[in-house]
Amino acid sequence: MEYEDGEYVISTDPARLDLAFLCRTLNATYWAGDRPREVIEASVRNSICFGLYRKTTGEQAGFARVVTDQATFSWVCDVVIDERHRGQGLGKWLMSCVVAHPCVKNTNSLLGTRDAHGLYEKFGYRRSSGMRRPSDRARGRETGTAQSAPVA
């Protein structure tokens, strides 16, 4: 899908994504500062990605991705606008495209944020508490090692 507005275009075409931009931009955030390139590549392959680009140059200026079963649940994550392009309403436009996407609009959608509650509340998100299980990698375990589930 593609959306156009003024100087920018949003596309869900994964071939347009600039992986160097994604790694640089995500690694500068509080939530993905230690995310390795191979993990970013895998997350992009397994998500619906929204790239924001300047029409004239094709330069990537923003990104969001959605993990979803396309029927009941979606998780919106990695929403970011490059600093040089902020202050133009691009984050709002990007989120309006995300929540209107046919694979997202009819799902129960979650996201996490420390600092952008006001933005997401404009799109119907409400603050709530939840539970979280960090990845084995984040807990310092070796990836790929089978762990037995505790027996109740």
- Residue 49: pLDDT band (50, 70, 90) is very high
Tokens of 9: 């275009």
> Could you report the per-residue pLDDT of 4-21, keeping only the tens digit for each?
999 999 999 999 999 999
C-beta of residue 85 within 8 angstroms of C-beta of residue 55: no
Mean pLDDT, rounded, of the chain = 89
> Could you report the per-residue pLDDT of 127-145, keeping only the tens digit for each?
887 666 776 766 676 555 4
Mean pLDDT for 21-33 is 94
Instruction: Say which CATH superfamily domain 2-121 falls into.
Output: Gcn5-related N-acetyltransferase (GNAT) (3.40.630.30)
Annotated domain spans of the chain: 2-121
Q: At what angle do helices 37-45 and 19-26 cross, to 10 degrees?
A: 120
Q: Are strands 108-110 and 60-68 parallel, antiparallel or unpaired?
A: unpaired
What's the confidence (pLDDT) of residue 78? Answer: 96
Q: Which residues on adjacent β-strands are paired with residue 44?
A: none
More confident call, 34 vs 131? 34
